[in-house]
A and B are shown apart, each in its own frame.
Chain A
Amino acid sequence: MSPQQVAVIGTGQTVFKKHHDDKTYAELVQDATLAALADAKMTPDEIDAVVFSMAPTEFAGIHDIEKWSVDSIFGAGKPLMRVHTGGATGGSALHAGYTHVASGLFRNVLVVGADRVAETPDAQHILNLIWDRFYEFDFALNTVTMTALSTQRQMARYGTTEEQFAQVVVRARANALKNPNAHLKGKITIGDVMNSPAVAWPYKLFDCCPRSSGGAAMVLTTLDGAREKCANPAFVNGIGATSSTVFQGDKTGPKADVEYADLAELEIAGKEAFAQAGITNPMKEIQVAELYDPFSSMQFPQLESLGFCGRGEAPALSDAGAFDLGSDLTVSPSGGSLCTNPIGVTGLVRAIEAANQVMQRAGDMQVSGVRNAVATAIGGSAQFYTASVFGADHL
């Protein structure tokens, strides 16, 4: 039997910024819920189940944070579970919401969460604690230094320059000018990026995402539900995920199954999602890619892993404007994770922005003629990957 069709019929986000001093976590997640329900033209009673997107909880400092939030999102008395794949959590939450509906167990499912990354004074200290206690705690491994290492490898393999990474930041900040919810935005130059303070070579400050707080929510339903409620739903036509080894060194040797510099696990997830969606030529069939790119170097290998171009080709295409607004493939018209990174829901925000493009509800960010969009999420030591394809037409 073919899986039941699943559609997005409503999305909601709060504004993202460093702190929301005027709201508790539960209030933030409620704001996102109310926005998504309004967008879906639904009341809370119409929601049958909830998937909660938030991890790791150490950022906000409350372990069972969804259990505190349940009353605020009208989830009490309903099936609710929280999922967690590190930075990929939002993508996995979408996938869990998808299977909730596709299984036939539920008709209307709310996927929701929020994060307050800046609640902790040093997010990178928390992100040091994700490593092995015996071997890795004691040298300064965190997500910045970790991805800096893979970036160096990328530069060595393909000759990518710091200026080419800087161009990604310039494009993201400019795109974010049209995103009312983006944390960072503005007109900057490659020189601004190059002259920002050094963080971990080759990263400068502007190559790195901010620590964002805010909430996000999405309403999923069946094909029948979509027909009743929404003129332009976004169908979830493909989902793919891959989990890899934590050990970065295992992805660098001659016997490696996947290449660390390439974020090659995404190739596996992308192929699965595209096969389900019937996508055979991504560059021709997909108009928008919302990528999980908290660092400027993470766009190129993702575009290559997803088959938009060959290995090592993305930087030159980027220089030529191939991923700018209005090109054949617009990459992260929202500004992406480089401009907004509430880690526990970042993957969900990517999915929301991709779905909004398909639903023609992206406001000033809207790219014309979007029929298919892809969203990604990445977590752990660049080891958890999700890819999700949204289409204007169902399968």
Chain B
Amino acid sequence: MAPRYQENDAYILGVTLHEAKPRVTDKRLEEMVYDTAKEALDAVGINRRALDHVTIAACDELDGRSISSMLLAAPAGAYLKDEIKATDSGLTGLCLEATRIRSGRFHLGLLVSWNKSSIAPFEDVMRMRCEPFYTRPIGLNMSITDGLFAAAMQGADEAQASKVAASYGQAAAKNPRGVASDPVAAGAIAASPYVSTPLREGHRPPVTDGAVAMVVVSGAWLNDHPDATPMARLSGIGWSLESYQLGADRLASMQGLKTAFGDAMEDAGLSNAGDLDVIEIEAQTAFHDIATRQALALPADQTVSPSGGPFAQNPYFCAGLISAAEAVLQVAGQAGPVQAGRVKTAAAIGFHGFAHQGNVTAIFEEIPA
């Protein structure tokens, strides 16, 4: 009899999200990471000693410590384990994890990402991401580059962005995994202060504290453990880094998004966005969300970010991986009040770097009964 699972395919066995809060005050970051990693393993009955690798995704600068994995790798489960860290984003960590599982060298892994956004001077960190000769001296930061991006967009205006942000606020209010907050009306968002014209404060989800862990296994491991029930197959993955330049052509083209999305779709054997039942977008502004929909020519009835996306919770560095976790929950039929019916295929789209320089897409597929 043929094995049920493709040996080198990657499957999500379990997903755990740390409780979302604007500011976690009763735990050190190490404790947040430990609690999340342990809960992920306990939930699927895996002993940490059984892991053959750990992949982490984190940012030294946002963690407030150089080589932050020195203190955080072990709480993430990587004590005397093969461990590696991606620095671009939580969702990039999933890309690295996918290469590890699909290489055939690794079979049972834990992927952990986090961001205690409240402890880092966010925009100071972003300013230090600038090269020192031209962009740093003029004070460039995330707010300004997001504003530049919003200004470069074709076919989106402030009013539209305000409506999108308001709709996500309403969706987020239903998500039990989000930060409990009352939705804000579009009018109030439209009246919120400018951050960087035309971007207003209400167009952006506030950053929060959080962490996420996924247990990822190979098909070979599943064939050897027939009692294990995966939540989803990671059927497609794609990532792309755009030029560093902030010219309008780069900002408006969304080419990096199209490349990453196209690669992931091809990897998953899908041909058009309509094949996806749900798309979770880690949009750091409402303008990013509108631009993503436009660039991918998403159908008007496409279900996008039923979780509320980053408006539900936004631990900035790992927000994309949280979008992936929400997509996995949708495929597994475990998204609770934000479940979008039966979901056979779901995608997560994430960004990193200034003005979506970095782009990642992950596609998840349901496990046939």
Complex interface residues of chain A between 370 and 395 (CB less than 8 A to chain B): 379-381, 383-384
Complex Cα distance A69/B244, Å?
Answer: 8
Contact of B342 with A by CB under 8 A: no
Closest Cβ–Cβ distance, residue A365 to chain B (whole Å): 29
Say yes or no for B105: interface residue by CB 8 A criterion. yes
A residues less than 8 Å from B244 (CB atoms): 67-71, 76
Closest to B245 in A: A71
A56-B259 Cα distance, complex, nearest whole Å:
29
Which 9 residue pairs across A and B have the least CB separation, nearest first? Answer: A243-B83, A103-B102, A102-B103, A99-B99, A3-B104, A64-B129, A80-B241, A99-B103, A76-B243
User: When the two chains form the complex, which single residue of B7, B67, B101, B259 contacts A380, counting CB atoms closer than 8 Å?
Assistant: B67
Query: For chain B residues 32-80, which have a beta carbon within 8 Å of chain A?
Result: 54, 60-61, 65-67, 69-71, 73-74, 78-80
Contact pick for A79, options B70, B132, B133, B240, CB 8 Å: B240
**Can you list 28 pairs linking A and B with CB atoms under 8 Å apart?**
A56-B67, A57-B60, A63-B125, A63-B129, A67-B129, A67-B241, A67-B244, A77-B255, A78-B241, A80-B239, A83-B87, A85-B85, A96-B96, A102-B99, A103-B101, A103-B103, A104-B102, A105-B237, A130-B70, A131-B70, A242-B83, A243-B69, A243-B78, A244-B79, A245-B74, A246-B73, A380-B70, A384-B69
Contact, CB under 8 Å: B84 / A77: no
Tell me if B67 and A86 are in contact (CB < 8 A): yes
Give the contacting residue for A257; candidates B80, B88, B267, B353; CB below 8 A.
B80
Query: Which residues 97-115 of B have a CB within 8 angstroms of A?
Result: 98-106
> Interface of B with A (CB < 8 Å)?
7-8, 54, 60-61, 65-67, 69-71, 73-74, 78-88, 92, 95-96, 98-106, 125, 128-133, 220, 237-245, 255-256, 259-260, 263, 267, 353-354, 357-358
Contact A102 B66 (CB under 8 A): no
List, in ascending order, chain B residues with CB within 8 A of A3's CB: 103-105
Interface residue A322 (Cβ < 8 Å from any Cβ of B)? no
Docked pose: A276 CA to B67 CA in angstroms: 29
Asked if B61 contacts A63 (CB within 8 A), the reply is yes
Given A61-B128, A76-B243, A81-B239, A96–B84 Cβ distance below 8 Å? yes
Known: A92-B84, A243-B82, A265-B80. A77 touches B105 (CB 8 A): no
Question: Beta-carbon contacts of A69-98 to B below 8 Å, as 1s and 0s?
Answer: 111000111111111111000001001101
Query: Cβ of A84 and Cβ of B60 under 8 Å apart?
Result: yes
Chain B residues whose CB sits within 8 angstroms of the CB of A81 once the complex forms: 86-88, 92, 95-96, 239
In the complex, chain A residues whose CB is within 8 Å of the CB of B95: 79, 81
Tell me, in angstroms, the Cα distance from A368 to B98 when the chains sit together: 39
Q: Given A63-B128, A126-B66, A241-B84, are A99 and B105 also a contact pair (CB < 8 Å)?
A: yes
- Which residue of B80, B92, B105, B130 is within 8 Å of A102 (Cβ)? B105
Q: A239 to B102, Cβ gap below 8 A?
A: no
Contacts of B129 in A (CB 8 A): 62-64, 67
> Is A58 in the interface zone, CB < 8 Å from B?
yes
Bound complex: CA of A99 vs CA of B79, how far in Å?
Answer: 21
A381 to B320, CA, bound (A): 30
Bound complex: CA A148 to CA B366 (Å):
54
Q: Answer whether residue A204 sits at the interface, using C-beta atoms and an 8 A cutoff.
A: no
- Point out which of A1, A67, A244 has the most chain B C-beta atoms below 10 A from its C-beta: A67
A13–B296 alpha-carbon span in the complex (Å): 40
Distance between A124 CB and nearest chain B CB, rounded to angstroms = 12
The yes or no answer to A317 lying at the interface (CB within 8 A) is no
Most B C-beta atoms less than 10 A away, residue of A82, A99, A239, A246: A99
Verify B87–A244 contact, CB threshold 8 A.
no
CA distance A369 to B85 in the complex (A): 36
In Å, the complex CA distance between A272 and B88 comes to: 28
- Contact bitstring A94-135, B, C-beta under 8 A = 1, else 0: 011011101111000000000000000000001101111100
Least Cβ–Cβ distance between B3 and chain A, in angstroms:
11
Instruction: Give bound CA distance, A381 to B65, whole Å.
Output: 14
**Does the CB pair A243–B92 fall under 8 Å?**
no
The CA of A95 and the CA of B70, in the complex, are separated in Å by 19
A383 touching B86, Cβ below 8 Å: no
A258 within 8 A of partner (CB): yes
Contact yes or no, A62 B132, CB < 8 A: yes
Given contacts A67-B357, A379-B67, contact A78 B240 (CB under 8 A): yes
